[in-house]
Amino acid sequence: MFVDQAKIFTQSGNGGNGCISFRREKFVPKGGPDGGDGGRGGDIIIEAVTGPTTLQEFRYKPRHIAKNGAPGGGNQCTGKSADNLIIQVPVGTALWDDETGQQVADLTEHGQRFVAAAGGKGGKGNMNYATSRVQAPRKAQPGEPGSSCWLRLELKLLADVGLVGLPNAGKSTLISRISAAKPKIASYPFTTLIPNLGVVPWGEFQSFVMADIPGLIEGAHTGKGLGAQFLRHVERTRCLAYLVDVTGLSDPAPDAALEVLLNELRTHNPAMAERPSLVVATKIDAADEDSLAAAKGWAERQQWPFYTISSVTGDGLKNLVHDLGATVEAARQVPEKVAVDTPAAQDPDIWGE
């Protein structure tokens, strides 16, 4: 099951208490205080790794609690510090503080870490309180308590090209033809229920990652259809490909469909409307001239490149892949801008509460 949102509770370990102890040794009449310090409590560390691709495990294990530090001992022995609890999440996971609703981290690289809850410091033993005036202190410091918080995890897939379109626009067929991805393909709407990723080779020893999300419909940003839940997965893409059916059998017309797609993306995240984009007319082997002209005219008004393809016959695929690869490569050379993040979803049903 593909799960891209989860809510977890994290609690770091408490620090160990300091020790009150005095040296008791034969032939040593003035041993003095020798109580050691307590150990540090374990931190809660969230680490991004490339292995997992879903947040499913956090639906079944929402609580993550680190161990406490050990108390200090006599003979100036420091208590053992607890091991840090490392929680591994997929690369591309954003972390939100559930109480404030603020984003606290965005883990976009393998190995990137975020300390969600710092462990408490260990308390000082009585050996630290010995002075010339107080040579036998009988006090020690208790360990500091750990910290806790509720975090919302939100996975945003990392891809170079995002495919957007109405249901049955041909997105899944396209990604299956130009990559090794094997999405479900059928003649009825909403066959794609989860995002699909495919690695597309192009040029000489070059490739880019393409993401196919479920089809969008008008009002997707308000929760209609399946697209609203997965729109976040095209937020990180370097360019967008708007796919439209030009057979004349789809409703609405191609130009109206493209306008719906642009409005939905702009409403979801205004920054996405500024992303390099192109229009791809699909199913060209059965194209209707009026529909094709409508799609081309809309692309020209937006001053976007326009392509015609047939995933069945392969017409236009080579040219499309080459130009997508060149666009991605050019975008990789430009320093990335800070993305405009959408607020964390507050719908209890989405978070599985």
Write the CATH number for 14.
2.70.210.12
What's the domain count of the chain?
Answer: 2
Cα 257 from Cα 40, distance rounded (Å): 59
* Domain end among 134, 155, 176: 155
Domain match, 133 and 192 both: no
Quick: pLDDT tens for 261-306: 888 888 888 888 888 899 999 999 988 999 999 999 999 999 999 9
- 193: domain CATH number? 3.40.50.300
Residues 47 and 117: beta-carbon distance below 8 Å: no
One-character DSSP codes across 21-36: -B--BTTBS---B-PP
Q: Within this chain, do residues 25 and 107 fall inside the same structural domain, yes or no?
A: yes
Q: CA triplet 17, 146, 105: central angle to 5 degrees?
A: 150
Whether residues 224 and 84 share a domain: the answer is no
Going by the DSSP 8-state scheme, the letter that residue 73 receives in this structure is B
Tell me the mean pLDDT in the region 114-119.
94
Query: Are 129 and 212 contained in the same domain?
Result: no
Write down the pLDDT at residue 187.
52
Same domain, 11 and 55: yes
Same domain, 178 and 149: no
| pLDDT attached to residue 35 | 92
Do 76 and 94 fall into the same domain? yes
Q: Which of 155, 172, 200 is the last residue of a domain?
A: 155
pLDDT in tens, 307-337: 999 988 989 999 999 999 888 888 877 755 4
Claim to verify: residue 226 and residue 332 sit in the same structural domain? yes
Per-residue tokens: 332: 């990789």
Residues spanned by the domain of 198: 161-351
| Residue range 296-307, pLDDT digits in tens | 999 999 999 999
140 neighbors 126 (Cβ within 8 angstroms): yes
Q: How many other C-beta atoms lie within 10 A of the C-beta of residue 285?
A: 14
User: With bands split at pLDDT 50, 70 and 90, how would you rate the model's confidence at 341?
Assistant: very low
Please state the pTM of the whole predicted model.
Answer: 0.69
pLDDT surpassing 80 at residue 345:
no
- In one-letter notation, the amino acid at residue 155 is L
- Are the beta carbons of 327 and 240 closer than 8 angstroms? no
d(CA 105, CA 210): 25
**Boundary residue ending a domain (125, 140, 155):** 155
Q: Which amino acid is at 305?
A: P
